[in-house]
């Protein structure tokens, strides 16, 4: 009997014709894993006059079972496999935005500190590695009060990490988490989130500004309501010299699924209907107006554009990583 031993070329050709012969997604993604830890993660670019630095807090590992909970499981698994993503673990990045404009140094969200997953909590170390002193931050904007966005607000002595900043959060977001006895009004799985949010928001020494839709932090820096993921979730719009960017927070939490299947919601999205309405509005706005988007959980550094595809849907196109301005 002859044993068929295909050459590498034959295998590659066969894989193109028959997707089933392609490498399983997990094998493909593992092949691209680093063998040693990476250096501090940050990325700089400009939006008009605004200098943007994306600084990572690390990553979160979340079971994919929480993604697309209103969709057919097999379809969700196929979507992940088709995108060469793990079919079990959602490796979610945590992209913090620092906007420097005039005298303003605005940081979006503060990470989870050492209170959540061990793979996160690197924000301050990554800031210091690129010469940014937490005491230089003038404004902190919290998109919403989930652990990965707000638990890093205080240090091990319960003192604010960003000592000189004005703290801003949506009025609806603040009120929801701070409602008396909220922990007893939510299901058990969310109780820790409530306790953590209340502890973070109540940190001594913080002064909160609660924002309404279109709150202007400074000319060119505006907050807009993007409810759904949480009820009072807000996002930051940066506008300068005809260019614009929206820091989405978690209004779209997956770079591919939230964009290509905006109607698939996640277990953690609090108001499912509002989540979808907000996403569709943001996708239309970003695609029509050419606004850049920056997703907190998108693959680092999480910035790019939304483009319409021929089927009437949308795609996320990551921005080109560049060494310097020109080209
Ligand atoms: Zn998040």
d(CA 206, CA 167): 7
Question: Using one digit for the tens of pLDDT, what is the confidence trace for 30-51?
Answer: 667 887 877 778 999 999 999 9
Question: Using one digit for the tens of pLDDT, what is the confidence trace for 114-165?
Answer: 999 899 999 999 999 999 999 999 999 999 999 999 999 999 999 999 999 9
**Residue 202 binned pLDDT confidence (cut-offs 50, 70, 90):** very high
Say which residues have a Cβ less than 8 Å from residue 4's Cβ, sequence separation at least 6: none
pLDDT at 255 over 50: yes
d(CA 77, CA 94): 23
Spacing, Cα 22 to ligand 1 middle (Å) = 32
**Residue 325 binned pLDDT confidence (cut-offs 50, 70, 90):** confident
d(CA 80, CA 93): 16
Comparison of pLDDT for 185 and 12, the residue scoring more: 185
d(CA 245, CA 99): 11
Question: CB–CB of 149/249 below 8 Å?
Answer: yes
* % of the chain exceeding 90 in pLDDT: 82
Mean pLDDT for the stretch of residues 300-316: 95
Spacing, Cα 102 to ligand 1 middle (Å) = 29
47-318 has CATH 3.60.15.10 classification: yes
Question: CB–CB of 314/308 below 8 Å?
Answer: yes
Spacing, Cα 109 to ligand 1 middle (Å) = 10
Spacing, Cα 252 to ligand 1 middle (Å) = 10
Give the pLDDT score at 61: 95
Spacing, Cα 229 to ligand 1 middle (Å) = 9
Domain range list for the chain: 47-318
Residue indicated by tokens 């050459």: 7
Give the pLDDT score at 246: 98
Give the pLDDT score at 21: 41
Tell me the residue ranges of DSSP E strands in the chain. 42-47, 50-63, 89-101, 104-108, 139-142, 166-170, 208-211, 215-218, 221-225, 234-240, 243-249, 292-295, 303-308, 314-318
Spacing, Cα 45 to ligand 1 middle (Å) = 23
Closest residue by Cα to residue 132 from 168, 95, 100, 169: 100
Spacing, Cα 297 to ligand 1 middle (Å) = 7
Mean pLDDT for the stretch of residues 192-215: 97
Spacing, Cα 19 to ligand 1 middle (Å) = 33
Spacing, Cα 148 to ligand 1 middle (Å) = 5
Mean residue pLDDT of the chain comes to: 91
**Residue 270 binned pLDDT confidence (cut-offs 50, 70, 90):** very high
Give the pLDDT score at 17: 41
> Which range among 131-145, 269-283, 308-322 shows the weakest confidence by mean pLDDT?
308-322
Give the pLDDT score at 18: 40
d(CA 159, CA 162): 9
d(CA 281, CA 222): 17
Neighbouring residues of the ion ligand 1, judged by CB less than 5 Å: 148, 250
**Residue 27 binned pLDDT confidence (cut-offs 50, 70, 90):** low
pTM: 0.90
């Amino acid at each position: 009997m002859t044993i068929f031993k295909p050459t590498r070329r034959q295998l590659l050709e066969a894989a193109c014709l028959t997707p089933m012969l392609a490498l399983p997604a997990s094998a493909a993604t593992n092949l691209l894993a680093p063998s040693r830890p990476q250096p501090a993660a940050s990325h700089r670019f400009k939006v008009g006059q605004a200098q943007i630095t994306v600084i990572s807090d690390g990553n979160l590992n979340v079971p994919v079972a929480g993604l697309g909970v209103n969709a057919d499981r097999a379809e969700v698994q196929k979507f992940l496999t088709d995108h060469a993503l793990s079919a079990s673990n959602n490796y979610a990045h945590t992209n913090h935005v620092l906007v420097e404009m005039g005298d303003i140094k605005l940081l979006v969200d503060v990470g989870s500190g050492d209170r959540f997953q061990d793979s996160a909590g690197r924000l301050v170390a990554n800031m210091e590695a690129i010469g940014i002193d937490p005491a230089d931050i003038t404004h902190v904007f919290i998109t919403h009060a989930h652990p990965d966005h707000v638990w890093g607000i205080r240090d091990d002595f319960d003192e604010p990490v960003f000592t000189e900043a004005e703290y801003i959060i949506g009025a609806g977001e603040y009120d929801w988490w701070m409602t008396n006895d909220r922990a007893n009004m939510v299901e058990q799985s969310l109780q820790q989130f409530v306790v953590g949010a209340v502890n973070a928001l109540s940190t001594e020494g913080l002064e909160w500004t609660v924002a309404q839709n279109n709150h202007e932090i400074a000319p060119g820096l505006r907050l807009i309501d993007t409810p759904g993921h949480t009820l009072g979730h807000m996002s930051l719009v940066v506008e300068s010299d005809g260019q614009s960017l929206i820091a989405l927070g978690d209004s779209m939490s997956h770079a591919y699924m939230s964009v290509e299947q905006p109607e698939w919601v996640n277990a953690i999205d609090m108001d499912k209907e509002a989540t979808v309405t907000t996403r569709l509005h943001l996708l239309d706005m970003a695609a029509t107006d050419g606004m850049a988007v920056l997703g907190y959980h998108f693959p680092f550094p999480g910035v790019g554009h939304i483009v319409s595809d021929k089927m009437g849907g949308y795609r996320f196109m990551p921005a080109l990583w560049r060494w310097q301005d020109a080209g």
